[in-house]
Amino acid sequence: MKAKRLAVLKTYKLFIGGAFPRSESGRVLPARGTDGKTPLGNYAHASRKDFRDAVAKARAAQPKWASASAYLRGQILYRAAELLECRRAELEFELRRAAGGDAAGEVTAAIDRLVHYAGWTDKYGQVFSAVNPVASPHFNFTFPEPTGVVGVVCPDAPPLLALAGLIAPAILSGNAVVALASERHPLPAVTFAEILATSDVPGGVVNILTGMRAELAPQFADHMDVNAVIDGAGDEAIGRTLQAGGALNLKRYADHSLAPREWMETPGNPYWILDSVEMKTVWHPMGV
Q: Closest Cα partner for 167 from 109, 206, 198, 195?
A: 206
Q: For 106-163, how does the pLDDT look when each residue is reduced to its tens digit (9 = 90+)?
A: 999 999 999 999 999 999 999 998 888 888 888 888 889 999 999 999 999 999 999 9
Assess whether pLDDT exceeds 80 at residue 3.
no
CA 119 to CA 215: how far, in whole Å? 36
The CA–CA distances, whole Å, from 264 to 25, 102, 160, 235, 261 equal 36, 10, 11, 19, 5
Nearest CA to 277 out of 66, 117, 56 is that of 66
Domains of the chain in sequence order:
10-285 (3.40.605.10)
Rounded alpha-carbon distances, angstroms, from residue 226 to 23, 102, 169? 20, 34, 17
Give the rounded percent of residues in the chain with a pLDDT score beyond 90: 79
Provide the β-strand partners of residue 10.
Answer: 41
pLDDT for 5 equals: 79
pLDDT tops 90 at residue 191: yes
Tens digit of each residue's pLDDT (9 = 90 or more) over 60-96: 999 999 999 999 999 999 999 999 999 999 999 999 9
Q: pTM score, two decimals?
A: 0.93
In tens, the pLDDT along 197-238 reads 999 999 999 999 999 999 999 999 999 999 999 999 999 999
- Cβ(61)–Cβ(149) below 8 Å: no
Q: How far is the C-alpha of 119 from the C-alpha of 152, rounded, in Å? A: 21
**Integer Rg of the chain from CA:** 20
- Written as one string, the DSSP assignment of 215-227 is HHHHHHHH-TT--
pLDDT of residue 100: 85
Q: What is the mean pLDDT of the chain?
A: 93
Tell me if 13 sits within 8 A of 190, measured CB to CB: yes
Above 70 in pLDDT, residue 51?
yes
In DSSP terms, 207 is beta-bridged to 178
By percentage, how much of the chain surpasses pLDDT 70? Answer: 99
Helix (H) or strand (E) holding 146: strand 138-146
pLDDT confidence of residue 38: 87
Q: Quote the pLDDT of residue 1.
A: 66
pLDDT at 232: 96
pLDDT band at 99 (very low <50, low <70, confident <90, very high): confident
The reported pLDDT for the residue numbered 248 is 82
Q: Is the peptide bond before 158 cis (omega within 30 degrees of 0)?
A: yes
Going by C-beta distance under 8 Å and a sequence separation of 6 or more, which residues neighbour residue 278? 144, 145, 146, 147
- Model confidence band, residue 288 (pLDDT cutoffs 50, 70, 90): low
Residues in the chain: 288
> What is the CB-side half-sphere exposure of residue 9 using CA atoms within 13 A?
15
| pLDDT for residue 101 is more than 90 | no
Phi, psi at 138, each rounded to 5°: -135, 150
